[in-house]
Amino acid sequence: MKILRTILSFILIALLVFLYACNGNKNSNENTSNTNVFFENKKDEKSFESISQNSKNETLVVFFSETGITEKYATVMSDYIISDLCKITMENPYSENDLKEGEDKRTYLEQQKGDLRPEIKGIPSNIDKYKYIFIGYPIWYKKAPRAILTFLNKYNFKNKTIIPFCTSSSDDIDITIDELKENAEGDPVWLTGKRFASRDLLDDAIAFVDSLNLDFLYDDIYLEDEGFYDETETYMDEPEE
């Protein structure tokens, strides 16, 4: 009887070990197939990334913006074309008072100085990888802010295409372009720029980018309807006085 019980115990243990091993194999099969799915997904992600990276590596949206209006346009355009985005800031920041209207204000005085190039920060150490450079700025006293000239003077724009855009309360972009061209070495191609009024629809920024027919806009990724933003939120806020 005792022997029989021992044999039965062995059989039971062997059965349990066998069942456990089967279950282990099943799990490991599941893991394998999960891993394959994981790698498949990764592969898809990678090809998606490389599409977006190609465009991203070629395009820079750089802007200067003190009260945030140009920044909104720059951000919408950069999101749309999946570009790098760079905000130029001042080493010696403007105060609220500097930005008020008046011939005794710092902004007014600086804008009168043709050769002033204030120190700026937040910019790339080189722009070698970019083919297209969007440059955005507000109009200040009928000109681009001096910070934009500092930016232009830092690089050589050989073989680059520059797309200027600005925001202003009334003046058009044309009055600022000659000075920009004089300050950009390397004889870049200048596309016709665009001025946005503070109350323009941000959709106009997308329409402007589309109208440029830039080669990367024909990558598959741009042909998809991404529904980038909610139409109910595309009006700019009133600029602060």
Ligand X SMILES: Cc1cc2nc3c(=O)[nH]c(=O)nc-3n(C[C@H](O)[C@H](O)[C@H](O)COP(=O)(O)O)c2cc1C
Q: Applying CB under 6 A, which residues contact ligand X?
A: 65-71, 99, 107, 138-142, 167-171, 198, 239
**How many residues belong to the chain?**
241
Residue 56 near residue 86, CB atoms below 8 Å:
no
Helix H or strand E segment including 161: strand 161-168
Cβ partners under 8 Å of residue 129, min gap 6? 57, 58
Q: How far is the CB of 76 from ligand X (least distance, A)?
A: 13
- By beta-carbon proximity to ligand X, the closer residue of 231 and 237 is 237
Nearer to ligand X, 76 or 139 (CB): 139
Q: Which is nearer to ligand X, 125 or 170 (CB)?
A: 170
CB of 53 to ligand X, least distance (A): 29
Write out the two tokens for 27: 């799990």
d(CA 77, CA 92): 28
| Shortest separation between residue 66's beta carbon and ligand X, angstroms | 4
Residue closer to ligand X by CB (options 51, 99) is 99
Q: Smallest gap, in angstroms, from Cβ of residue 238 to ligand X?
A: 11
User: Tokens representing 207?
Assistant: 């329409």
Q: How far apart are CA 73 and CA 122, in angstroms?
A: 18
